[in-house]
A and B are shown apart, each in its own frame.
Chain A
Amino acid sequence: MNNPLLILIADPNPFVRSFLARELSAQGYSTVEAGSGKEILAQLYLKTLPDLLVMELDFPVSVGLMVLEKVQNLVPTVPQIIYTHFTEYENHPSVRKADDFIEKNEDPSDLLHSISEVTRMYKANTLRMKD
């Protein structure tokens, strides 16, 4: 992969972020991290636009759902995977708009599988649009 996918890992817990970054890097992805709603938006506005967003909803300051809605309005082309404890939000309208919903547990394999699925679909779509 000459041009690795850039994944934004958004989670309030730095240790979770670093773990996920390590796991994703091991799979050949490059990662950036955001620990708050503000950092997510800063990354999207000011820094390199990621190819994919992995997001926990449980943010202490800005409510996760609000941030998610903002992200969806701002960069609708960036695929979003919700990776959270908050299973009760699975059927929330904004959450349903996201590309996938994964319940967070210790084993990241579900997440990795979902990332490859979502990127594959996006690639296929982009190719179709180019055709």
Chain B
Amino acid sequence: MARWRSPGISTRIFINLFMLLCATFAIGLTSIWYSVQFNAMLNQVIEKDMEALQASREMETELASQKGFVTYYFLDGDPKWLNELSVHRRSFMKWFQQAVEVDQNPEHRILLEQIHETYKRYIADKDKVIALYQTGDRKAGEALHWKVREKFFELNDICLRYKQANELNMQQVRDESHSRLQRISVVVVIFMSTALVLGVLLVFFMFTQVLIPIRQLSQKTAMDDEINSSGNEVRVLSNHVRGLMENMDRARSELEQSQAMLVNSEKMALVGKLATEVAHSIRNPMTSINMRLFSLKRNLELTDFQKEDFEVVSAEMRRLDNIVSNFLEFSKPHKLKKQQINISRVIDMTLDLLCYRLELHSVSVVRKQSADLPPIEADPELLKEVFVNLMVNACEAMEDGGEIVIREEAAFVENIGWAVLVKVSDNGPGMSEEVRTRVLEPFETTKANGTGLGLFIAVRIVEEHGGTLELHSKEDEGTTFIMTFPAAGGQ
């Protein structure tokens, strides 16, 4: 059983089909072979034996027809009887010649030889009788006539035997052809039954191994109405398999993407950890320095120059402390403190924060606000960070000053629904294709003192709010960042 199960389904079907074809071919070949043979045999019978049979029959008839003419001649002496006799004699010889020509059977040839000999003598004796009658010697003629009669019966008997031999031959041929036909029938029936069995087996295989599993599979994968509407399980199944393959391709590319993301975020996490440790280590000695400065300031009597120096040192120390504190503040794991906000307010606050820097870079800001902008659920502090990042980037990109356009609008977006869109565009130099693809990755920076984290963090923050950040840029055509945030309550 196990050995029978081992070949694959296609092999089994192929073997079955092959055997079926063989059986069919065998039927055809056998039929052709036998019919050719049968035909040859029939031809032989028709051409030879039939002619011989006919000749033997005709010979008997002609012989019988020769009877009586000499007697009639004896009675009335009319020579027309002799003429008729000679007609039948010629006819007999004609049929005899034909029999000799066509009949090659050795036994028949012996009989024909006997007929020939006996007939020759019979004719010769009969001619003698006729001659005696013609000369008027009726007595001698009559006596010879009786003898000739006996010869006639002897000849007739041989002719009859020859005819019977031919008829027997015909019967044999008929019997032989009949038995051959029967043999053909048996062989054909055997092959046909084999073909039938193989065909049933094939259908059985097709059903149990192919069609039923396909039907079951397609029923599992498809809705009922889908099968009913198309009526073709294989098409339904192939559609589903194609769908599955597409899903798999998509899943694989998504997996690759998320693996790349994971590697990046692991690297990020490690660097973040190291940076935090560094910041902590720096802060301790800085506090120590600050303490000593504090102590100095309390006790020292300084000149104006010394006071200025001291103030600068203290101010720079405070700046350092701020930097480290801000970094540590940022590196702390934060929780989103979401609240319903109007994004315009966040942008207002950002612009307030950045007014000095915008002035420094000679950058003007154009707002394009729309009334009835829906609120969003967001952490305003984090969003401020995003906008600061984007604006600072824009300022630094436009070295000789320029214009930033901030456009706010509500729109229906696929996968998000009702959303608030914020587009921040600058008219700076833009980015090349290569830079654009890399700029949202962590640790990718075009600036000498950049960390390569600003845009990456911005993307992360927007995504934490369930939104997206897209970048559109062309060289010499400026850069546009498009942020999409889901509207609060899905309005």
Contacts and interface: CB of A to CB of B under 8 A. Distances in A.
A13 B295 contact: no
Contact of A13 (B285, B293, B294, B332): B285
Interface residues of A, number: 15
B292 interface: yes
A13 B290 contact: no
B248 interface: no
Nearest to A88: B332
B209 interface: no
Nearest to B283: A85
B280 interface: yes
B288 interface: yes
Q: Which of A13, A85, A104 has the most CB of B within 10 A?
A: A85
A16 B294 contact: no
A15 B288 contact: yes
A125 interface: no
A85 B293 contact: no
Nearest to B318: A106
B284 A106 contact: no
A106 B280 contact: no
Interface in B58-115: none
A12 to B, nearest CB: 7
Contacts, number: 37
Given A16-B284, A85-B283, A85-B287, A106 B332 contact: no
Interface in B273-290: 280, 283-285, 287-288, 290
B260 interface: no
A108 interface: yes
A85 B294 CA distance: 17
Nearest to B292: A19
Interface in B33-77: none
A69 interface: no
B274 to A, nearest CB: 15
Contact of A16 (B280, B291, B293, B332): B291
Interface of B is mostly: helix
B284 A19 contact: no
Contacts of B288: 13, 15-16, 19
Interface in A9-29: 12-13, 15-16, 19, 22-23
A100 interface: no
A85 B291 contact: no
A47 B288 CA distance: 27
B299 to A, nearest CB: 11
A16 B293 CA distance: 12
Contact of B287 (A16, A22, A88): A16
Interface in B281-318: 283-285, 287-288, 290-295
A106 B290 contact: yes
Contacts of B291: 15-16, 19, 106, 108
B312 to A, nearest CB: 16
B284 A105 contact: no
Nearest to B280: A58
A75 B54 CA distance: 146
A15 B332 CA distance: 28
B271 to A, nearest CB: 20
Nearest to A17: B288
Given A16-B291, A19-B291, A107-B294, 16 more contacts: A12-B284, A13-B284, A13-B285, A13-B287, A15-B285, A19-B295, A23-B295, A58-B280, A85-B280, A85-B287, A105-B287, A106-B287, A106-B293, A106-B294, A108-B291, A108-B294
Interface of B: 280, 283-285, 287-288, 290-295, 332
